[in-house]
Amino acid sequence: RAGAMPRMLGKYEVLEGIGYGRSMPRTQVKRGVDTETGEEVALKLVDREHLTAKNITDLEREVESMTALAHKHIVSLRDVIWEAEYPKKDGSSSRSVVCLVLELATGGELFDYIFHTQQGFPEDIARTYFQQLVDALCHVHKAGYAHRDLKPENLVLDGEFNLKVTDMGMSTLAIDERGVPTMLKTQCGTFGYIAPEVLAGLKYTGEPVDVWAAGVVLFLMLAGFPPFMISKKKDEPIAAALANDWWFQRIIHNQHRYFWDAHMRKASFSPDAIALMNKIFRVDPSRRATLADILEDKWFNTEATVAPDVMAAELERRRLHIARQKAEEKERQRREREAARAEAGGAGGAYAAAAEMFAPIERSVSDSSGGAVSTSLVAPLAPDTKCVLHSRVRVHATAATVVERIAQTLSRMCADYTVDEGKCKVRVRAHTPQGEVSFVARVMRERGTDGKADDADAETPTAHVVEVRRSGAGIVAFYDAFDKLAEGLDDISEPDAGVAVNKAEVVASAAAPAAGGAGIEA
Q: Tens of pLDDT along 350-359? A: 444 443 433 3
Lowest mean pLDDT among 313-317, 326-330, 408-412: 326-330
Task: Give pLDDT, residue 477.
Answer: 78
Average pLDDT over residues 71-83: 93
274 and 336 co-located in one domain? no
User: Which letter does DSSP use for residue 48 in this model?
Assistant: G
**φ, ψ (nearest 5 deg) of residue 333:** -65, -35
Which of 18-27, 118-127, 214-223: highest mean pLDDT? Answer: 214-223
73 in Cβ contact with 162 (< 8 Å): yes
Task: Give pLDDT, residue 276.
Answer: 98
384 and 297 co-located in one domain? no
Closest by CA to 381, choosing from 321, 333, 446, 322, is 446
Lowest mean pLDDT among 208-212, 257-261, 264-268, 308-312: 308-312
Query: At 214, is the pLDDT very low, low, confident or very high (cuts 50, 70, 90)?
Result: very high
299 in Cβ contact with 276 (< 8 Å): yes
| 312 SS3 class | helix
Within a domain: 2:
no
357 and 451 co-located in one domain? yes
Q: Is the pLDDT of residue 109 over 70?
A: yes
What is d(CA 261, CA 244) in angstroms, rounded to the nearest whole number? Answer: 19
Average pLDDT over residues 83-98: 82
Looking at 305, 337, 368, which one is the last position of a domain? 305
Which of 134-143, 420-429, 439-448: highest mean pLDDT? Answer: 134-143
pLDDT, tens digit (0-9, with 9 covering 90-100), for 381-392: 777 766 666 688
Within a domain: 518:
no
More confident: 225 or 88:
225
Question: Which residues form the domain of 390?
Answer: 311-507
Share of the chain residues as helix, strand and coil, in percent rounded to the nearest 5: 40, 20, 40
| 403 SS3 class | helix
Task: Give pLDDT, residue 309.
Answer: 78
More confident: 489 or 180:
489
Task: Give pLDDT, residue 215.
Answer: 96
Within a domain: 246:
yes
What is d(CA 19, CA 308) in angstroms, rounded to the nearest whole number? Answer: 27
Within a domain: 360:
yes
Average pLDDT over residues 327-340: 74
What is d(CA 325, CA 306) in angstroms, rounded to the nearest whole number? Answer: 26
Q: At what angle do helices 271-280 and 206-223 cross, to 10 degrees?
A: 150
In one-letter notation, the amino acid at residue 88 is K
Alpha-helix runs per DSSP H in 245-379 = 246-252, 256-263, 271-280, 291-295, 308-344, 349-358
More confident: 38 or 236:
38
77 and 153 co-located in one domain? no
Percent of the chain with pLDDT over 90: 23
Lowest mean pLDDT among 55-69, 166-180, 265-279: 166-180
For the chain, counts of helices (H) and of strands (E): 15, 16
Within a domain: 520:
no
**Distance (Å) of CA 296 to CA 98, 123, 130, 276, 304:** 42, 18, 14, 10, 16
Largest CA distance in the chain: 84
CATH of the domain at 24: 3.30.200.20
User: Mean pLDDT for the chain?
Assistant: 77
Average pLDDT over residues 257-275: 93
Tally of domains in the chain? 3
Q: Is the pLDDT of residue 319 over 70?
A: no
Residues labelled as active-site residues: 149
257 in Cβ contact with 173 (< 8 Å): no
Whole-prediction pTM value? 0.66
277 and 317 co-located in one domain? no
Closest by CA to 137, choosing from 302, 290, 278, 280, is 290
What is d(CA 208, CA 102) in angstroms, rounded to the nearest whole number? Answer: 28
**φ, ψ (nearest 5 deg) of residue 438:** -115, 140
C-alpha torsion sign, points 383, 386, 387, 389: positive
Within a domain: 191:
yes
Instruction: Output the CA angle 252-267-151, nearest 5 degrees.
Output: 60
Q: Is the pLDDT of residue 260 over 70?
A: yes
401 and 493 co-located in one domain? yes
More confident: 318 or 496:
318
CATH of the domain at 348: 3.30.310.80
Within a domain: 515:
no
- Cα end-to-end span (Å), the chain: 43
- Residues in CB range of 375: below 8 A, 6 or more apart: 364, 400, 458
Q: Is the pLDDT of residue 330 over 60?
A: yes
Task: Give pLDDT, residue 491.
Answer: 74
Average pLDDT over residues 149-156: 85
354 and 249 co-located in one domain? no
Average pLDDT over residues 43-65: 87
Looking at 279, 305, 331, which one is the last position of a domain? 305
Within a domain: 519:
no
What is d(CA 481, CA 436) in angstroms, rounded to the nearest whole number? Answer: 9
CATH of the domain at 194: 1.10.510.10
Q: Is the pLDDT of residue 55 over 60?
A: yes
User: Which letter does DSSP use for residue 402 in this model?
Assistant: H
Which of 242-251, 265-274, 386-395: highest mean pLDDT? Answer: 265-274
